[in-house]
Amino acid sequence: MDSVTEPKQQNMQTIVISLITGFFIWILFTFFQKKGEEKEEHNQNIEKDKTDTVKEHTKKTFKHAKFTKKASVSNFSHSLLSVTLKGHSGKVLGLDVSINGKYMASSSDDRSVRLWSVKDFGAGNKCVRVNVEFDHARFARFSPDSRAFIAGLAVENTVRVFKLGKNNDGVTTCIPIEGDFVKYNQFVASCGWTPDVKVWAVNFTRSGEYKDVTRAFELKGHTTTVWSFDFNNDSTRMVTVSKDGSWRFYDTGVEYEKGQEPYLLHTGEFHISDCSIDKDFCIVALSPDARVVAVACMNNIIVFSTASGQVEVEFKEVHTEIITALIFDIAGRYILSSGDKHVRVFHNVLGYKETIRELEEKIRPIPSASSVRERYQKQVDEAKKSLNAILKIK
């Protein structure tokens, strides 16, 4: 009897152990399955939060004005429009040109920066796409040697550096690199809710190493908030626009170390169609030679001379959305703007006219047999030839 009972007891023990083991395996399986689902849901939430944050950043960046889209603007045309650059699938937020005059960079909320060849503007939409992983660039800025650019990331609020290179087939490429560089301009400046623009000097040692930043001077004269400012190519001139409806043009090539203040060269009022200057944000751009100013408000642009303040042209309804960036190319031949998915490239006709006017004024007192007069006259003839080609005058 005992011999029969003993195997039964062993079988029962085996069954109980199997049930307990199976139960624990089921608990562990359920636990890790739930953890996996929670992790997946967490990742999805993170990705959603990032996407929402990107959208929110883009929305907040230009929340300063209400704007109603007009479908007809997508077919914008103008006699001075050189080309419309297409390629971005999202809003273009920033523009910059390289010092060597070869490239223009456009940053967009489609998580890319595109590099355009300035000499190929006439060819249309040839560009190199640089992906900005898991974020988007609110702006891109070229290095002084034009061999790299930095991208200011919207979500991470950091700077990413990209190095420019070329493949064996000669195609331009970009790769992210670790590091940073300083642009060797003389000044940096800022404006905000005050009527002044504060300017600092970036100082370097004789060997070219960064030394420090010191307060240089302030641009004063406006009665309320300064909307925007810009430098010319060598930082010897600056222009500002304000909510008070005025623009001011300064000589900043002064000995600030000795306490010398900038000189006000010209000032005047400006008006832009369908815009309230005291409410709608304005962007100003100064040509590299400081002869021409462009001001954008909403989706309109005016262009005027720094010498006279007279408006040469107004481009209306340039983009389907508010203009986000306005610049000149390094040679001063073009005015570029962004505001939707496109970049508009305009001929800077006023730049040619102002160049011709200034050169002809210099020529008048010079004797006719002078080599200097001959050199100036050659420059005048070249400028007139370029201007006539744009205006299609034979």
pLDDT in tens, 146-180: 889 988 898 888 888 888 876 554 445 554 443 33
Share above pLDDT 70 across residues of the chain, in percent, rounded to a whole number: 75
> Average pLDDT in the 50-68 region?
49
Which has the higher per-residue pLDDT, 65 or 305?
305
Q: What is the pLDDT of residue 158?
A: 86
Instruction: Give the chain's mean pLDDT.
Output: 83
Kindly indicate the confidence band of residue 50, based on its pLDDT and cuts at 50, 70 and 90: very low
Which has the higher per-residue pLDDT, 352 or 73?
352
For residue 18, what is the enclosing H or E element?
helix 2-61
326 within 8 A of 345, measured Cβ to Cβ? no
Kindly indicate the confidence band of residue 9, based on its pLDDT and cuts at 50, 70 and 90: low
* Rg, C-alpha atoms of the chain: 30
Kindly indicate the confidence band of residue 186, based on its pLDDT and cuts at 50, 70 and 90: confident
Contacts with 289 (C-beta within 8 Å, 6 or more apart), sequence order:
232, 233, 332, 351, 355
Q: In angstroms, rounded to a whole number, what is the distance separating the alpha carbons of residues 377 and 384?
A: 10
283 within 8 A of 227, measured Cβ to Cβ? yes
Residue 382 predicted with pLDDT over 80: yes
Residue 206 predicted with pLDDT over 90: no
299 within 8 A of 291, measured Cβ to Cβ? no
Nearest to 90 by CA among 107, 103, 67, 78: 107
Residue 309 predicted with pLDDT over 90: yes
181 within 8 A of 144, measured Cβ to Cβ? yes
Query: Of 5-19, 156-170, 274-288, which range is least confident?
Result: 5-19
Which has the higher per-residue pLDDT, 125 or 247?
247
Kindly indicate the confidence band of residue 192, based on its pLDDT and cuts at 50, 70 and 90: confident
Q: What is the dihedral of CA 246, 251, 254, 256, to 10 degrees?
A: 10
Q: Other C-beta atoms within 10 Å of 77: how many? A: 6
Edge-to-edge strand order for the sheet containing 103-108? 92-97, 103-108, 112-117, 127-131
Q: In angstroms, rounded to a whole number, what is the distance separating the alpha carbons of residues 293 and 314?
A: 12
Instruction: Quickly tell me which residue has 């909510």 as its tokens.
Output: 243
Query: Of 2-16, 341-355, 357-371, 380-394, which range is least confident?
Result: 2-16
**pTM for this entry:** 0.79
Query: For residue 100, what are its two tokens?
Result: 């060597």
Q: In angstroms, rounded to a whole number, what is the distance separating the alpha carbons of residues 109 and 131?
A: 11
Query: Of 29-43, 79-93, 343-357, which range is least confident?
Result: 29-43
Q: What is the pLDDT of residue 22?
A: 59
The residue type of 185 is: N
> Average pLDDT in the 188-207 region?
90
Burial 296-322 (b: 16+ CB within 10 A, else e): bbbbbbbbbbbeeeebbbebeebbbbb
Q: What is the pLDDT of residue 313?
A: 97
Residue 158 has what DSSP assignment?
-
Kindly indicate the confidence band of residue 33, based on its pLDDT and cuts at 50, 70 and 90: low
Q: What is the dihedral of CA 117, 393, 310, 266, to 10 degrees?
A: 60
Residue 53 predicted with pLDDT over 70: no
Query: For residue 319, what are its two tokens?
Result: 């983009």
List Cβ<8 Å contacts ≥24 apart for 36-45. none
> Average pLDDT in the 47-76 region?
51
Q: Could you tell me the end-to-end alpha-carbon distance of the chain, in angstroms, rounded to an integer?
A: 125
Question: Which one of 17-21, 66-70, 219-223 scores highest in mean pLDDT?
Answer: 219-223
What sign results for the dihedral spanned by CA atoms 244, 348, 305, 187?
A: positive
Q: What is the pLDDT of residue 97?
A: 94
Residue 270 predicted with pLDDT over 90: yes
Q: What is the pLDDT of residue 119?
A: 83
Q: In angstroms, rounded to a whole number, what is the distance separating the alpha carbons of residues 337 and 314?
A: 13
Q: What is the pLDDT of residue 107?
A: 94
Q: In angstroms, rounded to a whole number, what is the distance separating the alpha carbons of residues 222 and 240?
A: 9
113 within 8 A of 105, measured Cβ to Cβ? yes
Residue 341 predicted with pLDDT over 80: yes
Q: What is the pLDDT of residue 261?
A: 95
Residue 105 predicted with pLDDT over 60: yes
